[in-house]
Each structure stands twice: as structure tokens, then as C-alpha cells.
Structure 1
């Protein structure tokens, strides 16, 4: 991977708009050219991070998702930001959609109408053997016409067969915990789960 200098990174951030950050700094920024910059602040040991950088894993996951017909960002470049610390990044074309969490905040009735299609989408992921540990309403985008896509797909495993019932329950529990942790009020989780069982 190529190395992006500190000056180039600063230029991107200065001219773009930071969309997500934490105590370690910016995580996602929208750039002037329409691409998104994603920065991976890894907690892995630098040696492991250099062997298998987060940006490369993210790119691999997006490619595998699109290969099986699931909408995901299109990564156009991966690079090192600080190779000594295993800090990597990528540029990608964002999906043209709205997160389910944002949609629920803006229009709960519209979200409720989408629950059967959303449940079928999640069940499709599980049937395809996709275990997405970061499965929550902020990482599922509604793309229109009852279609959905995934973002922030670094923490993902591709199994050779459909997920077991235990893994399905565990994955859905991640979704429930996110709702409580982020205090997403009024989301009809019970209806979503009922729709999942019927789909």
C-alpha cells in the first residue's frame, strides 16, 4: 500500500467535512471530490496490524459483499497513514442511502412499513453465512425501493454455510444492545424479530 503523508491527510480533513470521530480523532470524512475517507484506528498490536491492515480487510469485505449481490461501499484506494503504528485508511464511494436509525428518527411510520423487507434482508445475510458483529440500525442503509446496503463492514465473517441458530441469536442480540446503548427509543424491535421468523 502507498503511504499518505501527514500533510495530505491534513489537506483532506481541512477541505472536507468530518462525519464521525472519537477520542482518537476523525474516523470518517466526506471529501470535496465526493469520496469518503475512512481512518482505521486499530487497537491491534502494530505487528499484526501491519501484516493484515484494517483498510485491506475492509476493502476485501466490501468486495465479497458486492460479489454476492449485497450493496456496500466501493473502495477505490487503500493506504498507510502511519505504518509504524498500523494506522491505515481508505477512500470509497459512499452508498446513496439513509441509515435505518436516521430514517426511524425522521419518520417512524416509514420505518415500520419497511420492517418486513428489513427482516428479510437480515435473514438473507444470515442465510449467506454473513456474521456482521456491527449489525445495527446505523450500519444498515435504506437505498429505496425496499433495498438495503451495509456500511462499516470491517468486523465481519463469511461462513461457508448459513449461520447456526446460536449465531443468529447472538447477532440479533448485538442489534438489541445497540438500541439500548444508544437510547434509540420507539423502534419496534419485537415486530422486526417476528418478521424475521416469518421471512
Structure 2
């Protein structure tokens, strides 16, 4: 990976719009050319961060998701921002759409229509061996064509076969804890679980909802 100069980074930060940051600084920046800059702050030892740069893991995860037919940001380039400390970054094409969490906060009464498709999407991930420890409503994007995709995919592992029952339970439990932290305990999570466990029910619900929407 090339090393980005301090001047280039300053230019990106100065001209871009910071979308996400924490106590360590900007994390995601929207650039004027439509690309996003993602900065991977790390608490790992610098040696480990240099051996396994977060930007490269992010890019590899994006590639593995694409191979499985799962939409995610398209990485353009990975680079070092400070190789000595292990600070890396990347440029990527953002995934168009809005997060499921944003949709729910804006129009909670419409979430029931999305539940069958959302359950199918999560099941699709698990059947294709995607274990996303940070799976939550803020990282699932509803795109303009009605499909779902994933963002913020650093904390993700892909395996050859489907996830085990234990991994599925752990992943779904993480989703429940996330809703509790975000004070979204009124989200119909139990209904989502039921649709996840019974695909035929999910498809039937989707058909009923589609027919209902067409009749209006």
C-alpha cells in the first residue's frame, strides 16, 4: 500500500464533509468527487496493525461479500496514513440508500412491510457463511432498488459453509443488544426472528404485502 502524504490527508479533511468521527478523529469523510474516505483508527499494537492493516481487511471483506452476491461499498484503493503507528485508510464508492435504522426512526409504521425481505436478507448472509459481528440496523442499507446491502464491514468473517446454529443465535443476540443500546426496544424483533426461522411464512407475508400494496 502506498503512503498518503500529510498534505493529501489535510486536503481531504479540509474539503470533505465528516460523516462519522470519534474521540480519535474523523472516521468517514465524504469527498467532493463522490468517493468516501474511511480512516481506520486502531487500538492494536503498531506491529500487528502493520502486519494486518485494517484497510486491507476491509477491502478483502468487500471482495468476499461481492463473490457471494452481497452488495457492499466498492473499494477503490487502500493506503497508509501513518505506517509507523499502523493507521490505514481507503477510498471507496459508497453504497446508495438509507440504513434500516434511519428508515425505522423516520417511518416506524412502515417497518412491517420490510420485515419479510429483511429476514430473508439476514438468512441469506448466514446461509452463505457470513458472520458479521456488527450486524445491526445501522449497518444494513436499504437501496433505491429495494434490495439490502452491508456497510462498515471490517468486523466480518466469511466461511465456506453456512453458519452453525450457535453462530446464528449469537449473531441475532447481538442485534437485540444493539436495539437495547439504541433505545429501539419497540422494534418488532420477535416478528423478524419468526420470519427468519420460517422462510415459507416470510415469502407468504411478502406476497400478501405486495398484493395489498397493489390494491391500494
Shorter-chain TM range is over 0.9
Larger CA deviation: 138-147 vs 15-24: 138-147
Q: Distance in 2 between matches of 1:76 and 1:57?
A: 14
Larger CA deviation: 182-191 vs 3-12: 182-191
Q: Distance in 2 between matches of 1:81 and 1:110?
A: 42
Q: What's the secondary structure of 2:141's corresponding residue?
A: strand
Count of aligned pairs: 199
Per the alignment, residue 137 of structure 1 pairs with: 137
Per the alignment, residue 94 of structure 2 pairs with: 94
Per the alignment, residue 175 of structure 1 pairs with: 175
Contact 1:117 1:146 in 2 (8 A): no
Q: How far apart are 1:185 and its partner, in Å? A: 4.5
Structure 1 residue 193 corresponds to structure 2 residue 205: no
Encode CA deviations 1:84-126: one digit per residue, 9 max, x unaligned.
1110000000011100000101111222210010000000100
Structure 1 residue 124 corresponds to structure 2 residue 124: yes
Larger CA deviation: 17-26 vs 4-13: 4-13
Superposition pairs of residues 152-171 of structure 1, within 5 angstroms? 152-171=152-171
Q: Distance in 1 between matches of 2:191 and 2:144?
A: 21
Contact 1:79 1:89 in 2 (8 A): yes
State the TM-score, normalized to the length of structure 1.
0.97
Alpha-carbon RMSD: 1.0
Superposition pairs of residues 20-169 of structure 1, within 5 angstroms? 20-169=20-169
Encode CA deviations 1:169-188: one digit per residue, 9 max, x unaligned.
00001111111112125311
Q: What's the secondary structure of 1:77's corresponding residue?
A: strand
Superposition pairs of residues 9-28 of structure 1, within 5 angstroms? 9-28=9-28
Segments ≥4 residues shifted beyond 4 Å: none
State the TM-score, normalized to the length of structure 2.
0.90
Which consecutive residues of structure 1, in runs of 5 or more, have no partner in the other structure?
Answer: none
State which structure, 1 or 2, has the greater radius of gyration over its C-alpha atoms: 2
Q: What's the secondary structure of 1:85's corresponding residue?
A: coil
Q: How far apart are 1:67 and its partner, in Å? A: 1.4
Contact 2:18 2:26 in 1 (8 A): yes
Q: Distance in 2 between matches of 1:126 and 1:176?
A: 17
Q: How far apart are 1:6 and its partner, in Å? A: 1.7
